Structure 1
C-alpha cells in the first residue's frame, strides 16, 4: 500500500501559493475582470469538449478531485487526500467536507460517483472526453466523504486527468432536474465563480462565489467575451473594454502595437501548445508516406519561426513540446531539403502541378500567415496548395472528426496533462475522434502498452518510441511549440500567465 497525501501541510502551502486558500472570506472586493476569448466552446458541460478555451473559463466554475496550479504541481482539490492501493488499481479518496454546488446542492461521494458514471456512460459517449478516462472501471461510495476509484487497466496519468476537463465534478440533482441540454448552457459547479448568463458566441458572465472553499475571489465579476477576430480583440484591449486577451488570439505582428501603449503589456509563458498540419492518410496523394515525407521536407519551418513568429516558438520533431513527458530532446525533425522532396514526389509518381487543400481555423491570423508561407514553399517543389478556412467549431466538430478534410489540416493541441499519452492516444489510436483516417495495429499496441507500465523510465522509452514511429510514418508535419501570449491592461494585478491556459482568477484584482 502506498499512501499519498502529498504532505498535506506542504500541499496546503502550495495551494496557497497557487491562489487556493482554505477559509472562506466574508467580504468580496469590488471589481470586474473582462477577458477576450477567441472561441465559444458551444457547451459548458465538462464531458462535451476538449477545448483549451473551455478550460480557461470552466476552471473558474468547476473543481476536480485534484488540482494542478500555475506551478504545474498536483495538489488536493475536492479530495483532501488519496491512497493508491492494490498495485495502483484502486485509489481511495477522502473528500472535502462542507462544500456546496452553486445551486446549494451538497457535494459528497454520491456526486463523485454520479459524475464518473455519467462520464463513462451513454451521455459521456457522445463527447470526446470519455476515452481519456476509460481506464476507470467503477467509482464506489464507501461513505459520504470517501470513494474508491477502481481501474480496469493501469493509468499512470489518472491523478492528473482528475484535475481537469471531463473529470470536473457536476451536481446530480441539478442535472436530473434540468436535463443535459439545459446544463450545457447553464453550468453549475463548486468553483470560485458562479454562472450568471450565457449568450452563445457573445459572452458568458460569472460572479464571485463568496463561499468558495478556497477563499472568495478578490473580484466580484468575471466576463468572457467571445471575439474571434484578433484585430477586434486587440482594439477592445486598447479601448479598455477588455482587460485581458488570452491565447491563441494575438498575432505576432500585433505585439508591438500592444507594447506601444503605456497602459498595456504583453506577457508570455512557455506553453504546451504545439501546431502541426496533419495528413489525410486515407485518400489522395497523401495516402503515400513518401509524399508526406516530401511535403515535410519541402517546408523551411525554422525560417517560418524566425520570420513570422518572431522567435515566440520552438521547432518540434514530434507532436509535443519540451513540457510533455515523453519528449525526446535528441529527436530531430526531417530537414528542409527541397531537392530531396522533389525526388520523393517523383518516386511516388506525383506530377508537378499536383494540387492539395489545407484546412484551418479561420480566426487564427498568425496561423493563416504560416499556412500561406507553407503554401509558397510547396509551390517551389511542384505542389499547388489551396487554403480553406473554416469557422473553428465547424472544423473541430464536423470536418475533422467526420473525415471530410483536405489532404492537410491544422491541429493545435495543448496536451494539457503534460504527458504524451494525452496527445498520442487522441491523435493516433484507431477510432479516436481526432484520428479519422488512420488505423495501425502496431501503433495501437504501443499506445496500450505504455499505459500498463509503472516504471517511469520504461514508460518514457515507449512514449518516445511512439513519437519516433509517428514521425517515421510522417503522420503530420510538425511545425512548432508556441509560447502562450497574453495581452493585458496594467490595471490587472496578480495575474499569472499559466502554461496550460487554465486560468483561475481567485487572486486577481482590477484597479
Structure 2
C-alpha cells in the first residue's frame, strides 16, 4: 500500500543511562561489498544493559543500538525526519492514526523478513516490555496490520512526538523470531548495518561489530568494523583518544584542553541542561518539597554563572528553564527567572516554616562530583543540607521509576516540546516518577498535544508553569564537547550529546 506524499515531520532529541543466541547471524556477518575497508572505534561511557530493542535507552546509549537495529524513521543531523524502514507516513485529519508504509526489501540478520507483521510485533513488544523508554509509546492504543507493507498506528490521544520517537528507541526493529527471547538480551538480532562479533566482545569492556553483508542501505554502512570501547572514567577516555585507542569520544571542557593540545578536533553543540530534579513535588517522601517556596528557595541559592565558569570553564549558558532554544518553548523572560539571591532563598524558607533548614538526599553520579560539591556548598549557604548517597547504577532508570530518589542532580537534553514533556513533565514521564500534576498543567499539556504547528508556542505556557512552580532547578545548558581525531569526519547531531553512528565517515 502506498500513501502518497509523506506528512511533514517535526524533529528533535535526549541525555544519559545505561545493556541471541547463535541466530544473531554470524552467517550474515563479514565485510560488506562496497563498505570502506576501514575501522572505527568509539569511546562510550557505559555498556548497554540489554540488547533487547525494547530495553533500549537514548542519549549516549542509543549509538550501539543503531549499529544493529534500523529504526522506522531516520533522524538527520539537522533534526529532519527521513525515511528508513518506513518509506512514507501520514496522519489522519484528527492526528489519531498514523499510517506507515514500509520497505519490502529488508531482512533481519537471522534471515527473517521485515514486514508489517514484524513492525507490529516490535511495537507490541515495546509497549509490554516495561523498558526505560516505554513512555515513548504511551499514546499508542494499538498497531494494526493493513497489508504486508502497511501498518496503522492508532493513538488514544494525538502525540506530536510520535514520529520523533519512531527515530529513537521506539522505532528500533528486531527480528520477530528473537523478540522476548533470552538470547536477544546478550546478542542483538536486527536489520541494521552491522552484526555483533560476540567472540571479540567483552561485557563492560568493548563491543565489536562487523559490516553486514547485503545490507540494504550501503550509504549508511561506512566501515567494515565498528568497535565501542566502554570507558566510564573521563580521564581514561581522554587518554584513549590522545593515544589513538579510540577515534572519537565525549569529554568535558577540562579534559578537552588535553585533547586540543594533541590536535584533536571538536564537534560541539549545546544539548543538555544540568541541575537538580526536584522530583517529590507532593512531599510524599520529603515533606518540605511540597511547598513551592522551598523549591523556589533552592533555585535562588545558585550563582549559575560562577558555577558554569568555574566548573565548566564557561562552556555553556546559565538558564532557569528546562526547554532549549531550538524547541520553540524557550522564552527570553525565563532564562534568568531565578537570579542568584541567597537572602531571598532564606526568606522563602522562613515563610515556608523551614528557617531551621531543609535536607535533601541525592545519589552521587560519576563525573559530576565537582558540580555536586559546588551545589552542596551553595545550598548550605542558605540553610539547605545536601546529603550525597550511593552512586547511580545500571538500574537507575528502574530506580527512578520506583521513586527511590526524591531529588537528583542530573543532565537532561532539551528536546522538542512534546518530547521534553513526555520525558520530564507528563504523568507518564520517566523523570516525573511521583506523577505530579495539576488541572492547570494538564490543560496546558493537552493544548500542546493538539496544537499542531503551534505546539512550540503553546509549550511556552508549560515551560512557564514548571519554572514558576520550580519543578526543577536548572543551572546551565552545557556544550557537549565531542572530540575526534583526523582519521574521521564527525557531524554533530542536533539536540543529542553524541552523534548518531550515521554521522561518522572516513576523513576525506
Q: TM-score, normalised by structure 2?
A: 0.86
Q: Which residue of 1 aligns with 2:312?
A: 309
| Cα shift at 1:410 | 1.8
2:492 aligned to which of 468, 478, 497:
497
Q: Which residue of 2 aligns with 1:465?
A: 461
| Cα shift at 1:229 | 0.7
Structure 2's unaligned 5+ residue stretches are 9-30
1:149 aligned to which of 130, 148, 153:
153
Q: SS state of the match for residue 350, structure 1?
A: coil
Matches within 5 A, 1:95-494: 95-120=102-127, 122-123=128-129, 126-175=130-179, 179-197=180-198, 198-215=201-218, 217-246=221-250, 250-262=251-263, 264-271=264-271, 273-279=272-278, 280-281=280-281, 282=283, 283-332=286-335, 333-352=337-356, 354-361=358-365, 363-364=366-367, 367-388=368-389, 390-398=391-399, 400-405=400-405, 408-414=407-413, 418-430=415-427, 432-442=429-439, 445-446=442-443, 449-450=446-447, 452-457=449-454, 459-492=455-488, 494=489
Does the Cα contact within 8 Å between 2:328 and 2:460 map onto a contact in 1? no
Deviation track 1:135-188 (CA, whole Å, cap 9, x = no partner) reads 22222222222222222221222222211112212211233xxx4332122112
| Cα shift at 1:131 | 2.2
Structure 2: distance between partners of 1:460 and 1:497: 23
Deviation track 1:284-311 (CA, whole Å, cap 9, x = no partner) reads 4333221111111011112112222122
Deviation track 1:330-351 (CA, whole Å, cap 9, x = no partner) reads 3232111111111112222224
| Cα shift at 1:478 | 1.1
Deviation track 1:81-121 (CA, whole Å, cap 9, x = no partner) reads 2233343233322211211112222111111111122223x
Aligned positions, number = 474
| Cα shift at 1:452 | 4.3
Quickly say closer, same or farther: Cα 1:435–1:82, change in 2 above 3 A.
closer
Structure 2: distance between partners of 1:160 and 1:51: 12
Structure 2: distance between partners of 1:77 and 1:337: 50
Does the Cα contact within 8 Å between 2:317 and 2:477 map onto a contact in 1? yes
Does the Cα contact within 8 Å between 1:40 and 1:53 map onto a contact in 2? no
Does the Cα contact within 8 Å between 2:327 and 2:456 map onto a contact in 1? no
| Cα shift at 1:354 | 4.7
Quickly say closer, same or farther: Cα 1:389–1:256, change in 2 above 3 A.
farther
Does the Cα contact within 8 Å between 1:28 and 1:218 map onto a contact in 2? yes
Question: 349-358 vs 161-170, which deviates more?
Answer: 349-358
Please identify runs of 4+ aligned residues in structure 1 that moved more than 6 A. none
Structure 2: distance between partners of 1:242 and 1:196: 18
Does the Cα contact within 8 Å between 1:30 and 1:219 map onto a contact in 2? yes
1:72 aligned to which of 79, 82, 85:
79
| Cα shift at 1:438 | 4.7
Does the Cα contact within 8 Å between 2:302 and 2:475 map onto a contact in 1? no
Structure 1's unaligned 5+ residue stretches are 8-23
Does the Cα contact within 8 Å between 1:92 and 1:149 map onto a contact in 2? yes
Deviation track 1:314-363 (CA, whole Å, cap 9, x = no partner) reads 222221211224223332321111111111122222245654333232x2
Quickly say closer, same or farther: Cα 1:368–1:495, change in 2 above 3 A.
same
Does the Cα contact within 8 Å between 2:360 and 2:384 map onto a contact in 1? yes
Q: TM-score, normalised by structure 1?
A: 0.86
Structure 2: distance between partners of 1:188 and 1:444: 41
Deviation track 1:220-263 (CA, whole Å, cap 9, x = no partner) reads 111111111111111111221111113xxx2321111111113x
Structure 2: distance between partners of 1:443 and 1:252: 40
Structure 2: distance between partners of 1:429 and 1:82: 26
| Cα shift at 1:78 | 0.7
Q: Which residue of 1 aligns with 2:38?
A: 31
Structure 2: distance between partners of 1:147 and 1:257: 51
Q: SS state of the match for residue 70, structure 2?
A: coil
Does the Cα contact within 8 Å between 1:266 and 1:485 map onto a contact in 2? yes
Does the Cα contact within 8 Å between 2:73 and 2:86 map onto a contact in 1? yes
For the aligned residue pairs, the C-alpha RMSD in angstroms reads 2.5
Structure 2: distance between partners of 1:347 and 1:454: 39
| Cα shift at 1:132 | 1.6
Structure 2: distance between partners of 1:145 and 1:312: 47
Deviation track 1:11-70 (CA, whole Å, cap 9, x = no partner) reads xxxxxxxxxxxxx97333222211111122311223224331221221222122211111
Q: SS state of the match for residue 67, structure 2?
A: coil
